[in-house]
Every structure is written in structure tokens, then in C-alpha cells.
Amino acid sequence: MATATDYLVNVQIMGKPYAVPAGITLVQAMWHVGLEVTRGIGCLGGVCGACATHYRTADSYKLKSGLACQLIVEEGISFSLLQSFPVRKPTYHLDQITDPKQELFKHFPETAFCRNCNACTEACPQGIDVRAGIWKANFGDFKGSAEHFLPCVMCNLCVPVCIAEISSNQVGLYARRAQGVFFEEKTTELTTRINEIKTGKFDAEWNRILSMPTEALKTLSLA
């Protein structure tokens, strides 16, 4: 007959040993042992990228990267949530850009020093070929770069492993924005709605909603 301990696995969380139920995620394991984790916990659905983590499994010496809300505990796993990593987030205005390729090197000059080491791709929990996305952006192929980076959740795991110190996810975001603004055909519906917003068509309704008390907003959301 199975006992309660048969359903437990031994793990290490931030260097300390614990026994936690099998089948739960790394985030749930932290909560289970009483760690009051708030920073680094977001959507719990693998979308926001907040719970970036490094981990090692019992059968390998390799340091791996992933999202704690998506990884399942296993016997002997050791993991730690990552602290916030400083990332360059330059300010640029797409409506003032005339040459998106040259503007890329203005804001992200380090992209030209990519060494093709592929560490960024190995670190990506989304399976993105980050290296290819960077090179496509370097050569002005924003469509190709944008397609590579489409699944990016901005977890920053690619940033600390880059020997050229490229903020790859920010480059990918720029490529997606540039592709959308400069190279994609605009729908007439989108243009019409943007013009309506700019001319204030919805201002009165928006101001009415902003002035409503909380209880009235709850009733509105249920309508």
C-alpha cells in the first residue's frame, strides 16, 4: 500500500532541502514549503515571463533555464528564482524613424558584436532561435526576426548569458514593432479606429467610466 511519503520528492529550493508533493510546479513547491514568494510570480500560465529560474536536475550537471510556473518538480531537482536582471531599454519613437535598420544599431550597437555562441538560444525557455532572430535583425530582415521573437515572454534569461551583452529580447521587441509599423500592410479598420480615438469620439464615454464608483463598475463588468 502506498504511503504519503511515496508521493513526495526531494528538492532543493535556493540551496535548502525540502520534500514536496510530486506533480506540482516549482512555484507551487515554494508555496507548499511556506516561502512567501510574491516578486517573480505573475500570470502562472507561462505568458508573462516573471518567474525565470535556473535549475539543475539530478541526472545532469548542466545548469538549465526555464519558467518556474511551467516546470514540474522531480526527485533531486535544485532551483532558484532569478533576481531582476538589469536590461537596457532605450527610448525610441517609431514615428520619428526613417531607417529602422540604422536605428537598430543606434539603440542596440552591441547587436553587431554577436559571436554566434548560441548561449541565448540554449537559455530560452520558449525554444526560440534567439541567435537567428538577432542576425536577421542585423541584416534588416525584420519580418524574419519578428517571427522568431513572436513567442518571447520577456523573461530576460537570454540576457545574462550573452558574451556580447546584447539585450536580445529588447532587440526582438524592436524588430516586431518595426515590422508592424514600416512593413506590414495596415487594415482600414485599424486606421479608422485610431483616427476615431485621436479625434475624441470615445472621450465622453471613457470619462464617464473613469468617474464611476467601484460598485457601479462591478455592475458594468457583469452587464
Helices and strands (H, E) in the chain, number of each type: 9, 5
Looking at residue 186, its pLDDT comes to 80
Residues of the chain with pLDDT under 50: none
pTM for this prediction: 0.77
Q: Classify residue 28: in a domain, yes or no.
A: yes
Together in a domain, 100 and 174? yes
Tell me how far apart the terminal alpha carbons of the chain are, to the nearest angstrom: 53
Together in a domain, 71 and 102? no
In Å, how far from its chain's centre is CA 38? 17
* CATH classification of the domain holding 69: 3.10.20.30
Contacts of 57 (CB under 8 A, 6+ apart): 64, 74, 76, 77
* Cβ count within 10 A of residue 60: 8
| pLDDT tens, position by position, 178-212 | 999 999 988 889 889 999 999 999 999 999 999 99
Together in a domain, 73 and 124? no
What domain range is 33 assigned to? Answer: 4-81
Together in a domain, 175 and 216? no
